[in-house]
Amino acid sequence: MTEISVQRKIIEILRILSESGVPVGARRIGDLLSERGYNIGERAVRYHLSLLDERGFTKKHGYLGRTITDLGRKELEEALVTDRLNFVMTGVESMIYQTSFDLEQGDGDVVVNLSVIDKDRSDDALRLLGEVASSGLASPYIKLVDEGEMICTEVVAEGKSVIATFCSITVDGVLLKAGIPAELKFGGLVRLKDREFEGFVEYIGYKGTTINPIKIFLSKQMTDVSGAMKADGDGLILANFREIPEIAEEKVRKVLTELKDIGIAEWIYEQGGLVLYAGVNGIAYLEEKGIKTDTRPNAALMPFSEMVEV
């Protein structure tokens, strides 16, 4: 078994290659490693890369550099489980940090969830997402991209469509830009009764899991968005809770009031923090109606101007 410190560097190299998409040379990898706190020389980088090539995790493309292989991606998904317990949170944190949505201009980058669906279900999907948006349980802003087109650095596969939905994590980014520290704690299932928030039924903390909490609840099909959308509004929907210093409450309320225009219509101020309904509730509704999706919550950033009202 490889020593843990060596394995960390190897995994970090795989992370760098998986985030790149194009071949990366050893020198550039060395620079990126150093940005991430791994100060190893180019010689050591080349040594680690040859180990990775040997195991079939990376592939050399002459002078262009290396790319990650499918086997390498699999290794990245499975290795160093303790590090990955943190990656769910660090991934979300970096999205929050990169949010550049500006309230006054009404534009900038927002966080989106990406869902792959079968192309022939895209009309049904749009209709159903419209229903959820008009019920006020999810933001109406989405982007639908068909096969062969690009979305957030990815090409949509043949026979598929990708739907980007507005992710509520964007709000944490807007709060941060307003100087309000919001610490995302957990994602879970909340009960609505007569359309009123009744509290969390189940939750999973962002810091104690290798799988995104919202993805778990989605894939276990535990929601009842359909119920929540009915006139009496009894159901189970997805939401996130973040802790916010009490002293900031007034300012938070002001920001949220301004965000109403982009579809963050409902929020609950709990003692100690804020509950926001997740942007993927529309996608959960698609699943309830029999449309299979492969969904990655808070997957990417997208200019808000690219999104349209469903």
Partner 1 sequence: MSKMMRRAPPPAISKIRDAIYDVTFDPKRMDGKVIANISYVDSNDLDSVIDIYRRLHRSGLSIGPYIKIVDENTGGKVGILTICSITIDGVLLKSAVPSNPIGGGVLYVESVRGVRFTDFLKYESTTMDPLETLAGMGLTSIMKVVETGSGRILANVREVPMIAKDDVEALLGDMVDAGFSGVIEVGEPNTDIFDIPTGRDHFGIVIAGGINPLVAADEMGIAVENHAMRQIVEISEMERISDV
Which residues contact partner 1 by CB under 8 A? 4, 77-82, 84-85, 185-186, 188, 197-205, 207-211, 216, 219-220, 241, 243, 270-273
Per the structure block, which two tokens stand in for 203? 């939750």
Cβ closest to partner 1, residue 4 vs residue 6: 4
Which helix (H) or strand (E) segment holds residue 198: the answer is strand 196-205
Cβ closest to partner 1, residue 185 vs residue 251: 185
> From the CB of 216, what's the least distance to partner 1, in Å?
6
> From the CB of 271, what's the least distance to partner 1, in Å?
6
265 phi/psi in degrees, rounded to 5: -80, -30
Cβ closest to partner 1, residue 146 vs residue 196: 196
Cβ closest to partner 1, residue 131 vs residue 243: 243
Amino acid found at 257 = T
Are the beta carbons of 106 and 158 closer than 8 angstroms?
A: no
Cβ closest to partner 1, residue 24 vs residue 204: 204
Q: Can you tell me the distance from the alpha carbon of 89 to that of 18, in angstroms, rounded to the nearest whole number?
A: 18
> From the CB of 34, what's the least distance to partner 1, in Å?
26
> From the CB of 192, what's the least distance to partner 1, in Å?
12
Q: Can you tell me the distance from the alpha carbon of 203 to that of 200, in angstroms, rounded to the nearest whole number?
A: 7
* Among the listed residues 230, 273, 223, the one whose alpha carbon sits nearest the alpha carbon of residue 248: 273
> From the CB of 77, what's the least distance to partner 1, in Å?
8
3-state secondary structure of 107: strand
